[in-house]
Structure 1
Amino acid sequence: MQNTAQNFAYTSLIYFHVYQGGYGRTCHSRRGRPDKRRDGNKPKPVVGDRGKAILESIDDDSLVIQSFRRYGAELDAKHDKHERIVKHSRDITIESKRIIFLLHTLDRESKEATVLKDAEARISKLTTTHFKAIAQELDGEDPYQYSKAYTSGMQEFIEAVTFYHYLKSNVLESWINIQKDFVYNVGESTNEQDGAEIKAFDENKQEKECTPEESAIETSSQKSHITTLLIPTDYFLGVGDLTGELMRKCINNLGSGNIEGCYQTSAFVREIYKGFLSIGNVAKEMSRKVYTLRQSLSKMENACYTIHVRGSEIPKHMLADVLSSSHDDMMDEDEGFY
């Protein structure tokens, strides 16, 4: 105990010498303020003779030093895992944007089957590669600690998936169905020895009380799948981004003369807007998403209004040009909700 306390005292002295410049003092200018270099960097720490002697006399086998090294290794492993997940998220974002661009080319019925089939294959590839890799990284970890690392890629993927299902069947894919696609099966045991131990434990678990080691074996045997967590907030934010793509699709339908599709898309986005109003501000970005959603809905409603009032005056092939040239001034507040 005496050696441990002495080593801890040495570590504290090292902190003051290295990080405080010696007994808590730093370099000061004439006015009493900390001295700053012209390049904006902080002054380098000053290690005196006593500090150097303490550094040389540190026992590497002390419990304090070993604890700090273990903490450092854990933090390095966590940061490395975070960076690997961020890289997967970037790849997911890029591929999801490409899928959305592909779905916007679906303007003719002759291309519908080919485009949807290609989009489905690319969505399935994302699910079985990058998202599975994220699930493997999150195996045994708290997924909420790493949720910010892949939230941008998840939102972009939700936008692509929901856009695909809308074009395919005119429905909004639910959070539950998407979460099911992020569940992956894994082997029940790593080798034959583990399987034999698990089998022997199952035969004898009724005869004697379980030990912690046996409980761990049973838990690992029962775990037959890994999951990439889809947080409901990411689903809501991804659906909010979907409305922008639906607004573009609505205007494109006017350019191709599909007036009925414009009315249908506008009604679909209106139902999404009602749902967002019932949810409330459950996330930091929710208010911005709702504001953008309302702008997109207003553009679609103005387009439908123009078609209904002046549709007989404007040729179908000129509807998109007329609507794009008109100024959008109908953004009054809805007193029923604000």
Structure 2
Amino acid sequence: MGLKRSHAEMSGRSKQDAPADQAQSPYMPMFEAFRAELDEHHARREDIIKASRDITAASKKIIFTLQRIRKLKEPLPAHVVKTNADHYNIIEERFKTVAKHLQGINAYRYARQISGGCQEWMEAVSFQHYLVTGQLLSYEDSRVTLLDVSKDEEGKSINLGPEDWVLGIYDMTGELMRFSITAMATHGLPTIPADNASDPASDSMDVDGRDGSSGQQRSVLTDMRLLRAALEGLDAGSGPFAKDAEKKMDVMRSSVEKVEKSLYGLIVRGAERPKGWMPDTNEGGRAVEVEG
């Protein structure tokens, strides 16, 4: 393959014969500034995408470890805390690395690039919060937590958008489904111990001002139904968020249906099943794949 020739050589001129005023063009500095700005933009974008992927991977590992828990409203076991500590450190380091890139207008410019990591982080921390407290992690508490986790040496941090909080809660219902079905194999449907033993509904989940108190023992299923009702009443408007919410809505409904169907099988036909039986979530219903 021959050497690539310059435009001047192809036109029969040497580089020395090029017009002397070419380098003095008034437009060159302007376009050089544009080039530098675009290079900086692509570098920032790649850094944020890489950080988001690392945060997503670490959050998934946290969720995987949390799924080993079998009881609600109890402190995390020591082995779970120890295992997840390294993953949380990775998440904190990645958030701090890109916090400087997500300030001012750039927070909106690169919102789609960091959104995946924020949603997966939200799914992990809300799932852990529910396992420990039996409560839904509020948006304000989530936002403050991320501000603290992502604060770098210059005091810059990342603000959690309401959209990422909502989409993370959608995904968290899938983890509640997995937790419930796994626990049903040995302990039955997981219930939430009440703070006041004389009033089982005194400690029910607060979703949008509704505590879901109905006088019955709280369980993961009752909380999932309450979440479903609240999320179905959400007006997502239009745009990318509305499309994402619509997709996750179908998955969320499927998760609730799977727990309902598994509980039905446990109560109605459980006595006929052998010890260690796992509920079959593939019998009937809509074949909707639950996000990991």
Give the TM-score band, short-chain normalised. 0.7 to 0.9
Deviating beyond 6 angstroms after TM superposition, the runs of 4 or more aligned structure 1 residues are 50-53, 108-111
SS in 2 for 1:182: helix
Question: Does residue 280 of structure 1 match 2:235?
Answer: yes
Distance apart, 1:90 and its partner CA:
1.2
Give the 3 Å change call, closer, same or farther, for CA 129–317 of structure 1 in structure 2. Answer: same
Report the residue type matching 2:225 in the other structure. Answer: R
Give the 3 Å change call, closer, same or farther, for CA 76–165 of structure 1 in structure 2. Answer: same
Of residues 242, 254, 259 in structure 1, which corresponds to 2:189?
A: 259
The residue aligned with 2:175 is 245
- Report the Cα distance in structure 2 between the residues aligned to 1:60 and 1:259, rounded to whole angstroms: 76
Within-5 A mapping of 1:131-150: 131-139=95-103, 141-150=105-114
Contact 1:102 1:115 in 2 (8 A): no
- Report the Cα distance in structure 2 between the residues aligned to 1:248 and 1:80, rounded to whole angstroms: 38
Question: Which structure's relative contact order is higher, taking Cα pairs within 8 Å and 6+ residues apart?
Answer: 2
Q: Which one has a bigger Cα radius of gyration? A: 1
The residue aligned with 2:52 is 89
**Residue correspondences, number:** 246
The residue aligned with 1:270 is 225
- Report the Cα distance in structure 1 between the residues aligned to 2:109 and 2:283, rounded to whole angstroms: 45
The residue aligned with 2:133 is 169
Q: Which moved more, 1:258-267 or 1:240-249?
A: 258-267
Contact 1:89 1:149 in 2 (8 A): yes
Report the residue type matching 1:265 in the other structure. Answer: V
SS in 2 for 1:121: helix
| Partner deviation per Cα, 1:132-189 (whole Å, 9 max, x = no partner) | 11212224552010111111111111111111111111111112112112325667xx
Of residues 262, 268, 275 in structure 2, which corresponds to 1:303?
A: 262
Contact 2:59 2:120 in 1 (8 A): yes
Give the 3 Å change call, closer, same or farther, for CA 140–232 of structure 1 in structure 2. Answer: closer
- Report the Cα distance in structure 1 between the residues aligned to 2:69 and 2:13, rounded to whole angstroms: 71
Of residues 38, 46, 56 in structure 2, which corresponds to 1:75?
A: 38
Within-5 A mapping of 1:13-28: none
Contact 1:182 1:228 in 2 (8 A): yes
Of residues 219, 223, 230 in structure 1, which corresponds to 2:160?
A: 230
- Report the Cα distance in structure 2 between the residues aligned to 1:186 and 1:314, rounded to whole angstroms: 55
Q: Which has the higher helix share?
A: 1
The residue aligned with 1:317 is 276
Report the residue type matching 2:65 in the other structure. Answer: L
The residue aligned with 1:198 is none
SS in 2 for 1:63: coil
- Report the Cα distance in structure 1 between the residues aligned to 2:141 and 2:126, rounded to whole angstroms: 11
Distance apart, 1:295 and its partner CA:
0.6
- Report the Cα distance in structure 1 between the residues aligned to 2:23 and 2:179, rounded to whole angstroms: 66
Give the 3 Å change call, closer, same or farther, for CA 51–68 of structure 1 in structure 2. Answer: farther
The residue aligned with 2:23 is 60
The residue aligned with 2:285 is 329
| Partner deviation per Cα, 1:102-156 (whole Å, 9 max, x = no partner) | 1112237999421442366346424531111121222455201011111111111
Ranges in structure 1 where 5+ consecutive residues have no aligned partner: 1-45, 188-223, 332-338
Identity of aligned residues (%): 28
Give the 3 Å change call, closer, same or farther, for CA 325–290 of structure 1 in structure 2. Answer: closer
How high is the TM-score relative to the length of structure 2? 0.73
Contact 1:60 1:66 in 2 (8 A): no
Ranges in structure 2 where 5+ consecutive residues have no aligned partner: 1-6, 193-217, 288-292
- Coordinate RMSD, CA, aligned: 3.2
Contact 1:81 1:137 in 2 (8 A): yes
Within-5 A mapping of 1:87-236: 87-107=50-70, 112-118=76-82, 121-122=85-86, 124-139=88-103, 141-184=105-148, 225-236=155-166
Distance apart, 1:277 and its partner CA:
0.9
SS in 2 for 1:227: coil
